[in-house]
Structure 1
């Protein structure tokens, strides 16, 4: 009969919630009923995402607690790990971020017994947080990107000439319909590419800045000059889940607004203008702190939507980074 080896993880506190920098303490408990060889007993701290998007994750720490031979009995291996700074635990609709501790005993010629315990990484209630403005998402691209875009559009246009020529030569209804669909799709793609540039072209200057005026308030200042009449400007403070599911041609992006606060201002004027918008910040503990991974993001942003008379609307996005305020005494990994 093979020896029995049981393993589990215990924490020194009942509620497994830890603030960044706080020690995560407990023990790995191993019970064996016969002499058992163990090559390694690693303890791993890591995080992973789950939900609508592809999974992301990372192991941030790994320690070996024991290697050798166990005699029958119960053994405790204490651990003391600094709680990571980020990412923070988050549970939303499309995206979830969880932290965990795992361990397994490497036992030769047997299935390795394993154990896992989840934990919460969150700042203390009422802790201050920092908000930093990122770079605005402008419509300008690099010269190489523009050249590649022109080449791709020209190739698609040349391909579209084939069914168009066949339709004109044969007067085939099927080829005519196919040609119209092809050029319709090509037109939609082309317009989606050039629309932001067309909208921006009527502004000789456009600048937007974000300033935190107090712990719970945000101000957005917009300065611009244009000869076109701007009917209305809407500033929106948003927190959005953005996840990607699938790979290659099957990649699909899903979005879910966690928070939205639109503030419209009627303008009906041309020339140089200045507008200011005031927002009350939502509690990041409720809507989530900023998070970014390859296929999973929780995005804070200010979106500016300019309604221009008889012209495509201009939309500018200002990314924001909202993080818990660092603690000076933090050490270890981040």
Structure 2
């Protein structure tokens, strides 16, 4: 039985922390019997939980006490520890990333009493490992040729080794024929029409809501009218558990989003053709992560649809990173300046506030509770014409705390500039209009009704159709 009990108490347990912040609090020790503590260690850090093997990282560690505790004592040891800027707190399907302050009393010849208290860390910018640089990939170049040479050399070796066993040799040859046919159809036949294809991204690093842009460069060998160029973005959690023969990979698709980038493109033989493309990255807080055996990874798959011929395909890894946190975005206020609030509609048209201006104020103050309260007091109940990009419909029904409609539902959306996340409360009469959503624009009038502090979204209620 432990001779002392530990409790970690944070000064501000509801606070959201960012890179460069410190987490403060105290460790309380309730002593049941006299005990010699070799070290009371307090540390901040992160760890993964879920299906994959556990990974962890320590940010800062201190030894708060070393000595003897007497029975009946209740002692408190204050601490201030650095907060890790990466990775952010994440609660997903197979993967969870938590930050915590852990306390441990090291006692000889006994189980060490431990205590822990979690705190939330939000992303405030890209990790240092995410380097922004253009990429270029030539499909079907010398690498593919080298792979083919190695493959056929391996087949020749197998043929020599297994020639004495016709059954095994037959199986190997059938496998080789199937693999060779697949490679020919998938990689060689598209090149017979398009020639060498270069896929060049402006940058493999993107923030949610921003475009992923690039170019496809073709050297066609024959004239053809391409049906389309499409793109599909896929985000996945990939967690590996166990090792050796017990190793198992768990995958969960977070999001799949497809778009047709271009249609009906005519290419001519001997003419180098460039096809620019742009793909809008949807809003997400699942940023690219690589924490030991636990990953969140994103990939952009480009496809050129060739009529009556195998399509050209290529996949590119995308590093999804959080937007850089700036003083304006963090809601930092100059102590010598007055707090800025949006203008309220006046008597003349030039005094009226627009939704563009309102969205800019909310976006700048989205991490400052006091400024948000001031903004809400100024504009709650005001109706604006607006244009937003619809992201996805939520599993919602009911009035959701008096904000929505009893017969309605909710939709996540974002304003374009700035990319302010929003929740649209839709009446039942407009259900059909929002039944099939997915990165399209909606125009209409809506009333500001509140702020979703959990997801940092402006809540607006659409008007019922007259």
TM-score range, shorter chain: 0.7 to 0.9
- Whether 2:200 is the aligned partner of 1:208: answer yes
Pairing 1:30-49 to 2, within 5 Å after superposition: 30-49=29-48
> 2: distance between equivalents of 1:221 and 1:94?
32
The within-5 A match list for 1:1-334 is: 4-15=3-14, 17-72=16-71, 73-123=73-123, 132=132, 135=135, 150-151=149-150, 154-160=153-159, 165-167=164-166, 175=167, 178-188=168-178, 198=188, 199=190, 202-210=194-202, 216-227=209-220, 229=224, 230-248=226-244, 251-264=247-260, 265-271=262-268, 272-279=273-280, 281-285=281-285, 288-309=286-307, 310-311=309-310, 313-325=312-324
Counterpart CA distance in 1 for 2:133 and 2:246 is: 33
**How far apart, CA to CA, are the structure 1 residues paired with 2:153 and 2:207?**
52
Shift of 1:262: 1.0
Deviation (angstroms), 1:66 = 0.9
Q: Secondary structure at the match of 1:266?
A: strand
User: 8 Å contact 2:206–2:319 — kept in the other structure?
Assistant: no
Q: Is the 8 A contact 1:133 1:321 kept in 2?
A: no
Change (3 A) 1:252 1:134: farther
Which shows bigger deviation, 207-216 or 235-244? 207-216
Residues 42-90 of structure 1: CA deviation (Å, up to 9, x unaligned)? 1122222232333322223222111111223111111111221100111
Q: Give, in whole Å, the separation in 2 of the partners of 1:179 and 1:100.
A: 58
What's the TM-score once normalised by structure 1's chain length? 0.76
Answer 1 or 2: higher relative contact order, Cα 8 Å, separation at least 6: 1
Shift of 1:160: 4.5
Query: Which has the higher mean CA deviation after the structures are superposed, 253-262 or 101-110?
Result: 253-262
Question: 2:179 and 2:51 mapped to 1: Cα distance?
Answer: 27
- Indicate the SS of the match to 2:172: helix
Structure-2 separation of matches of 1:200 and 1:60: 51
User: What residue number does 2:444 align with?
Assistant: none
Q: Measure how far apart 1:215 and its partner are.
A: 8.2
DSSP-derived class of the 1:34 partner: coil
Question: In the superposition, relative to structure 1, how do residues 101 and 183 fare at CA in structure 2: closer, same or farther (>3 Å)?
Answer: farther
1:332 match = none
In the alignment, is the contact (CA less than 8 A) between 1:136 and 1:318 conserved in 2?
no
2:46–2:98 contact (8 Å) kept in structure 1: yes
1:19-56 residue CA offsets vs partner (Å, 9 max, x unmatched):
33222111111111333211111112222223233332
| CA displacement 1:179-209 (0-9 Å, x = unmatched) | 4433333445556777776356844452433
The answer as to whether partners of 1:23 and 1:80 remain within 8 angstroms in 2 is yes
Structure 1: how far apart are the matches of 2:254 and 2:2?
Answer: 51
Mapped contact 2:136–2:199 kept (Cα < 8 A) = no
1:150/1:221 CA distance change after superposition, 3 Å: closer
Distance 1:49 1:137 in 2: 34
Q: Offset of 1:278 from its aligned partner?
A: 4.3
Distance 1:283 1:154, change over 3 A: same
3-state SS of 2:322 partner: strand
- Paired residues in the alignment total 311
Long gaps (5+) in structure 2: 328-466
Conserved in 2, the CA contact under 8 Å of 1:47 and 1:57?
yes
SS at match of 1:66: strand
Structure (1/2) with the larger strand percentage: 1
Alignment check: 8 A CA contact 2:88 2:97 kept: yes
Deviations 1:262-309 (A, max 9, x none): 112323532414233342x43333xx1221123222123432122345
Check whether the contact 1:39–1:68 (CA below 8 A) recurs between aligned residues. Answer: yes
Secondary structure of the residue aligned to 2:173 is helix
Please state whether the residue corresponding to 1:298 is helix, strand or coil: strand
User: Which has the larger displacement, 37-46 or 55-64?
Assistant: 55-64
Report the Cα distance in structure 1 between the residues aligned to 2:275 and 2:82, rounded to whole angstroms: 48
Q: SS in structure 2 opposite 1:232?
A: strand
Structure 1 residues 6 and 191, CA gap change in structure 2 (3 angstroms): farther
